[in-house]
């Protein structure tokens, strides 16, 4: 599990294709100088990968055909910057929101509205995930935890502060850029319950079932 708070920006060394998948090599320096262990989970632009051959200079990760099909990682080229976050450890402070590292969709950055040092982004919303997005709810874009500031039928907006723009890869993106979207896991469960014919039309029952019988 991740939080959507990016720890560092890595640099792609190479992406090597092989039969059935690929190997991604990333150069990275972690802020606490702790080298990930072999087998540790690392979110790369929001996609959960398993570290192999880690060192104090970076790590490698094997990408399955499923990962290549569901993410934009196959488009990475040497020198590309990527957002990196190690999996949450028991006892860590929990900022951001619950991020699983599962990419739900590729979305397009429809427009950027500068507001001083801030930016307001409008993202084209895939219809299949519209029920999983709520105003003031959480989303992850390329692994970055953000709050939905406003919502339309086929779009949503997020506000980016200067720190987010400088500490992640988002500050280098332009209109038309594609990103990984992960919707909030709690919203997914609620949407699934509401689509269940046994709970359809009874949203309160669906939410009670999700949270074990009661909502304070």
Domains of the chain: 8-86 (2.40.30.20), 105-189 (2.40.30.20)
The listed range with the strongest mean pLDDT (16-20, 32-36, 69-73, 89-93) is: 69-73
pLDDT in the model for residue 195: 72
Its pTM stands at 0.87
Q: Which residue has the higher pLDDT, 79 or 194?
A: 79
158-165, Cβ contacts within 8 angstroms, sequence gap of 24 or more:
158/120, 158/121, 158/123, 159/115, 159/118, 159/119, 159/120, 159/121, 160/118, 160/119, 160/120, 160/121, 161/118, 162/117, 162/118, 165/117, 165/119
What is the average pLDDT across 21-43? 94
Q: Is the pLDDT of residue 207 over 70?
A: no
pLDDT in the model for residue 79: 98
Q: Which residue has the higher pLDDT, 84 or 185?
A: 84
pLDDT one-digit tens code per residue, 13-22? 999 999 889 9
Q: Is 77 exposed, middle or buried (0-12, 13-18, 19+ CB in 10 A)?
A: exposed
What is the average pLDDT across 68-94? 91
Cβ 43 vs Cβ 99: under 8 Å? yes
Q: Is 49 exposed, middle or buried (0-12, 13-18, 19+ CB in 10 A)?
A: buried
Q: Is the pLDDT of residue 202 over 60?
A: no
Task: Name which of 63-67, 112-116, 129-133, 152-156 the model is least confident about.
Answer: 129-133
What is the average pLDDT across 46-61? 95
Q: Is the pLDDT of residue 215 over 50?
A: no
């Amino acid at each position: 599990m991740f939080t959507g708070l990016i720890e560092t920006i890595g640099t792609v060394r190479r992406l090597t294709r092989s039969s059935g998948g690929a190997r991604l090599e990333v150069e990275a320096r972690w802020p606490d100088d702790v080298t990930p262990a072999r087998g540790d989970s690392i979110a790369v632009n929001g996609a959960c990968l398993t570290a192999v051959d880690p060192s104090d200079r970076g790590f490698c990760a094997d990408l399955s055909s499923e990962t290549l099909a569901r993410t934009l990682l196959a488009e990475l080229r040497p020198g590309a910057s990527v957002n990196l976050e190690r999996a949450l450890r028991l006892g860590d402070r929990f900022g951001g929101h619950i991020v699983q590292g599962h990419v739900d969709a590729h979305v397009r950055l429809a427009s950027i509205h500068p507001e001083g040092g801030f930016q307001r982004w409008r993202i084209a919303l895939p219809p299949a995930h519209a029920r999983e997005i709520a105003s003031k709810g959480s989303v992850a874009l390329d692994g970055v935890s953000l709050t939905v500031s406003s919502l339309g039928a086929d779009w949503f907006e997020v506000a980016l502060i200067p720190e987010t723009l400088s500490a992640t890869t988002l500050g280098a993106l332009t209109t038309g850029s594609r990103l990984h979207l992960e919707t909030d896991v709690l919203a997914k469960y609620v949407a699934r319950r509401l689509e269940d014919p046994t709970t359809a039309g009874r949203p309160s029952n669906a939410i009670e079932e999700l949270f074990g019988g009661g909502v304070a």
